[in-house]
Chain A
Amino acid sequence: TAGITQAPTSQILAAGRSMTLRCTQDMRHNAMYWYRQDLGLGLRLIHYSNTAGTTGKGEVPDGYSVSRANTDDFPLTLASAVPSQTSVYFCASSDGTGVNEQFFGPGTRLTVL
């Protein structure tokens, strides 16, 4: 079982360009999340989706958009990248029951120049 996959692994992007970070899970989890992780800061929630067809804004949503057309995929789009979006991006999912722990993908390291 793959769990959660993310693509690309890393990317260097020119400021002003757009980019979509891909995230796919095969655990049939209802909830999915996008976080960014920056040195010295905790993981910060960008957007989330409690179930297919719905999305919500997290702590730092500006400059990012998401969609959730089906259960498995949750892409994150940067419409016009800025250097402050340089970060490591993690996608996560949870099944919404019991302990409801989140399972994380391997991350995408994005550098915006």
Chain B
Amino acid sequence: GQNIDQPTEMTATEGAIVQINCTYQTSGFNGLFWYQQHAGEAPTFLSYNVLDGLEEKGRFSSFLSRSKGYSYLLLKELQMKDSASYLCAVMDSNYQLIWGAGTKLIIKP
């Protein structure tokens, strides 16, 4: 079966760095996506990785290792507004997104 695993909840301090991990087992791989979802709102696109390595976009970076079925999202200089759920999703061989349950990130002052 297809499976995306990520921690249910994480807590971090304002100004710090946090890494959210995602492991996956899917039928085929056509890219890995990270989305941010604030409570009561729609998911919004953060990053995309299709090749191994690190993609940096401002305070957010995303890493992919296809051989290990592993990705992480790195958030630097955390701000209170970063409190949200972070969703990992893999595009499978049918070009459909398989979603993890999301990691709720709590930022404390």
Residues of A at under 8 Å CB distance from B? 40-45, 48, 58, 90, 99-107
Residues of B at under 8 Å CB distance from A? 4, 8, 31, 33, 41-45, 48, 87, 89, 91, 95-102
Q: Quote the shortest CB–CB distance from B31 to chain A (angstroms).
A: 7
Contacts of A105 in B (CB 8 A): 42
Nearest to A106 among chain B residues (CB) is B42
Q: Which of B43, B48, B100 contacts A90 (CB 8 A)?
A: B43
Nearest to A101 among chain B residues (CB) is B45
Q: Quote the shortest CB–CB distance from A81 to chain B (angstroms).
A: 23
Contacts of A102 in B (CB 8 A): 45, 97
Contacts of B41 in A (CB 8 A): 106-107
Contacts of A40 in B (CB 8 A): 8, 101
